[in-house]
Each structure stands twice: as C-alpha cells, then as structure tokens.
Chains A and B, each alone.
Chain A
Amino acid sequence: MLKVHRDICGYCGCCVSVCPEGALELIDAYLSVEENCTSCGVCAKVCPLGALEVVHEKQV
C-alpha cells in the first residue's frame, strides 16, 4: 500500500499528474489515495521531497 508521509508532503500534486490509475487527488493541503491504487510506486519515484512510500503488506 501507499503511505503518505504527511510531515514531508508539500501537497504540490506532482504525484497526481503521473498516477496512471487516477488514484491520487490533491484536496488543498491533503493528498488522498483512492482504493484503486495499485502501489506501482511511480508517484513515490517522482516526489520532489520523498513523501511517498510503497509499503509491502508484511511490513505493515
């Protein structure tokens, strides 16, 4: 699953633009992750700050 580190996130929407599933939405100062997220990690790669992380189930 996708973990949003809210203390790092600058709610810029860079991740939203590259999400192939349309699973992310920037609601002002809040990034929402929808259920159709496939944990592909594209968003985590492009994040300018490193606020997104794909966490594998067993680590949760």
Chain B
Amino acid sequence: MKSKYDVLVIGGGPAGALAAKTAVEKGLSACIVEKRPAIGAPVRCAEGIGKEALQEFIEPDTRWISAEMTGATIVAPDGFVMQLSSQMAGSKVGYVLDRKFFDRELVWKAAEAGADVAVKSRAAAPIIENGVVRGAKVDFCGKVTNVRAEVVIAADGVESKFSKWCGIDTTVPVREIMSSVQYVMTGIEIDQHSTVFYLGNEVAPEGYLWVFPKGKNTANVGIGISGKKSGAGHRAKDYLDAFVKKTFPHGRTIEYIPGGVSVCRPLECTVADGLIITGDAARVVDPLTGGGIYNAMYTGKLAAETAADCIGRGDVSKKALMAYDKTWRASKMGKAIERNYHIKEYLIKQPDTKLNEIIHSVSKINMTEFTTLNLVKEIIRVNPKLVLELGALAASLR
C-alpha cells in the first residue's frame, strides 16, 4: 500500500472490486482496503443473481457458481405453490453463486488489472480538508497510515461507517432493515434447480424466507424479517428455526450466519466533495427482493468511471461527481429500485389472506424474461382489481 492513490476504495466486496478494476483500466492508480482478513468470507448473502445481470459484468464460471436455476417457486402463506419458469422450458434463468470464490475472483481481477489490495486493513477515519474528502486513515494491526486519494469510493457495505464519518446520514429506518439469518444446510430434500420463496406473517413478517439451492441436497436456507417485527423471542433466528424444524428436520446446518439487508430508499445523495458511495453502503439494494450483487457491481463500476472522468478534468467536487448520482438514478437499476420500493411498501401492508388471494390467481407462469417486473405484470394482468389498489404505481408497471 502506498501513501497516495488516484482512487481509494473502502471495502473489497463486489462494489469495491468493480470500482478498483474499472479505475485501473481507466489508467488511474487504485487501492482496495478490506477490513476483513479474507475476501469473500463470511458470506452474508443468499447468493442469487439473474443470468443476464451477471453476464453484464463477468462470464459465468463453474469455479464460483454453486448451482444453475431454471425456475423459481413462491409459496403463499396458506402453502399454495406458484411456479415460475422460463418460456423456454429448462433454460437457465439465474445462478446461485459461491461468493467465497466469486468475491475473490472479482478482487483477483482487480489486482491483476493493477489495483493494490490491503486486507485486514480498516479505514478508521476519513481525511477531510476544507470539507473535502482527501483519503482515509488506514489501520493495519494497530499501525495507522494516512492514505491520500483524489477520490474515495465508499463500498463498505451495510455496516458502512465511512460516509457517516463524512457527515452523510446513512441510518437505515428500523422498519426497513431486514434482520436476517441464513443457514447453509445439507442433507435436505430440495429441487436443486429452483429457488423457493416463502411468504406470510407467520413465516417471515414483512419479509420472506428463502431456500436457494447450492447443489444436490444443499441450500442456503435463510430469512429476513422487518426490524420492526423483531424482538426478544421472535427474532429472525426464531422464525428460521421454527421453519427448519418443520421443513428440514433431518438437515444438517454447516454454516450459520446472521446479517442485515436494507430495503429503504437509496441515500438522498450518494456523492460528496471527493467521495462516491456505492453498493449496500449507498443503500441501493433492491427493496423488493433484497438482492444487491448486481447493483453493487453496477454502482462500483459507474463510480470509478465518474471518478476517472472528474479526475481527468481536475474537478472532484460534489457538483462534478453528481454525474454518478444522476446516472444511476436514471438507469434501469435506479428505476427498478424506485418501482420495487413502492411494490414492497404495498405488499408489506397486505394481510396473509390478500397474499393468498394474489398468489392463488396464478399457479404457473412461463415468463419470456425472468424478472420481478414481469412477475408483477402477470399478477396484475390476472388481478385487474389490483390496478385500482396500486393507484399511480400501476401506470408505471405497464
């Protein structure tokens, strides 16, 4: 690690890795500082990603893909099952990754392109001069080094502190944090090519429970519930244990990892003078699905592109970096977040009886394109009444 870079990236997840790789490809010097001793672990993620979304950034490789998905299943509160599959029967629609290897691959690619990487190295404070972020104090085993940068890219995840230290309010509202726990379970009976989502206030209040296959008889079995619904005796772990006891009584748990996923709106502004905020730290998780891998890679890459452009022009002010904020908000991703936020807000207010009714209306959907938007469109098509309930939102879904 040197004492000065064009771009300093805080965090070595998908956002940070794409940011660093893109920065060096643009001819900048860049360094990733990752507080954990190993890239990719622990895995606080259900690891699902759509086929097209992944391919936008990297060619799928069996070394970091646990399983290929050909469909998805939604289980209503009353147990009714809705099957979603591709119109081309049996064709791949998505993947469940092995993020221990996937994240490592992304950081390795960044390093191979020329980025420096410092692990077990924590950004302990920003360097701020005249209100401008100019780098970070990096703590490696108690030794603190000042690392200066033209632009700092905060990619420090859900537990992000860097932006807060720079004066940006990143607090997630209690009702909009998904309090989560995931087990990797083996020895369980599953369809190894379909993700399963369980809905209902008894199963996962204001959230959902997932079974994402990791191969034969093995899956990520996890849950996210609203922080508002969490408390002593009824936490995410309590709900998950109840489900597992009933559904997979003979399964073996080989990994046990808690987590938090934000399902709020993104930060009001994702840049400051000398600073760009990306991925989970920017709260750009899809509020409906809780998925964040694609959004992290997209914002990480865009952040570095913007940084390169602004550094090239000698202006890294908030005003100049706003190009990043404007671009992602206007992107397909930005629009999907806004739309899915409204859908999420609608769905969490519905009682189980209503969810049952909606899911009962379609038992099988063959989708041309496997997206949540197409799922919602199909549900609305067979439930015309919903158009009225969704109000203005419905218009944006057509």
Q: Which residues of A contact B (CB under 8 A)?
A: 10, 12-20, 22, 25-28, 42, 45-50
Interchain CB contact under 8 A, B171 and A20: yes
Chain B residues within an 8 Å CB radius of A47: 179, 230, 235, 258
Among residues of B, the one whose C-beta sits closest to the C-beta of A22 is B164
Contact of A46 among B122, B164, B181, B260 (CB under 8 A): B260
* Complex A-B: 24 CB contacts under 8 Å: A10-B257, A10-B258, A12-B257, A12-B258, A14-B179, A14-B259, A17-B171, A18-B171, A18-B173, A18-B260, A27-B122, A28-B37, A28-B120, A28-B122, A45-B227, A46-B230, A48-B179, A48-B181, A48-B237, A48-B258, A49-B181, A49-B236, A49-B258, A50-B235
Report B162-182 CB contacts with A as 1/0, cut-off 8 Å.
001100001111100101110
Chain B residues within an 8 Å CB radius of A15: 260
Known: A47-B235, A48-B181, A48-B259. A18 touches B159 (CB 8 A): no
- Chain A nearest CB from B74 CB (Å) reads 23
Interchain CB contact under 8 A, B161 and A16: yes
Interchain CB contact under 8 A, A14 and B256: no
- Chain B nearest CB from A53 CB (Å) reads 9
Known: A45-B227, A48-B181, A48-B237. A22 touches B258 (CB 8 A): no
Known: A47-B179, A48-B179. A13 touches B157 (CB 8 A): yes
- For residue B318, CB closer than 8 A to chain A, the reply is no
Tally chain B residues at the interface, Cβ within 8 Å.
35
Known: A13-B157, A14-B158, A22-B164. A45 touches B260 (CB 8 A): no
Interchain CB contact under 8 A, A49 and B260: no
Among residues of B, the one whose C-beta sits closest to the C-beta of A42 is B174
Add 9 more A-B contacts to A13-B259, A28-B35 (CB < 8 A).
A10-B257, A13-B158, A16-B159, A18-B173, A26-B159, A28-B122, A48-B180, A48-B235, A49-B181
Give Cα A52–Cα B258 distance, bound, in whole angstroms: 13
Chain A residues within an 8 Å CB radius of B160: 16-17
Among residues of B, the one whose C-beta sits closest to the C-beta of A29 is B36
Give Cα A2–Cα B338 distance, bound, in whole angstroms: 36
Interchain CB contact under 8 A, A48 and B174: no
Among residues of A, the one whose C-beta sits closest to the C-beta of B36 is A28
Chain A residues within an 8 Å CB radius of B257: 10, 12
Interchain CB contact under 8 A, A48 and B230: yes
Give Cα A10–Cα B231 distance, bound, in whole angstroms: 17
Chain B residues within an 8 Å CB radius of A18: 171-174, 177, 227, 260
Chain B residues within an 8 Å CB radius of A28: 35-37, 120, 122
Chain B residues within an 8 Å CB radius of A48: 179-181, 230, 235-237, 258-260
Chain A residues within an 8 Å CB radius of B170: 17
Among residues of A, the one whose C-beta sits closest to the C-beta of B240 is A48
Report B236-278 CB contacts with A as 1/0, cut-off 8 Å.
1100000000000000000011111010000000000000000
Chain A residues within an 8 Å CB radius of B165: 22
- For residue B395, CB closer than 8 A to chain A, the reply is no
Among residues of A, the one whose C-beta sits closest to the C-beta of B178 is A14
Give Cα A26–Cα B260 distance, bound, in whole angstroms: 13
Chain A residues within an 8 Å CB radius of B262: 17
Chain A residues within an 8 Å CB radius of B44: 12
Interchain CB contact under 8 A, A14 and B180: yes
Known: A10-B258, A12-B258, A22-B164. A46 touches B227 (CB 8 A): yes
Chain A residues within an 8 Å CB radius of B236: 48-49
Chain B residues within an 8 Å CB radius of A12: 44, 159, 180, 257-260
Among residues of A, the one whose C-beta sits closest to the C-beta of B223 is A48
- For residue B58, CB closer than 8 A to chain A, the reply is no
Among residues of A, the one whose C-beta sits closest to the C-beta of B161 is A25
- Chain B nearest CB from A2 CB (Å) reads 15
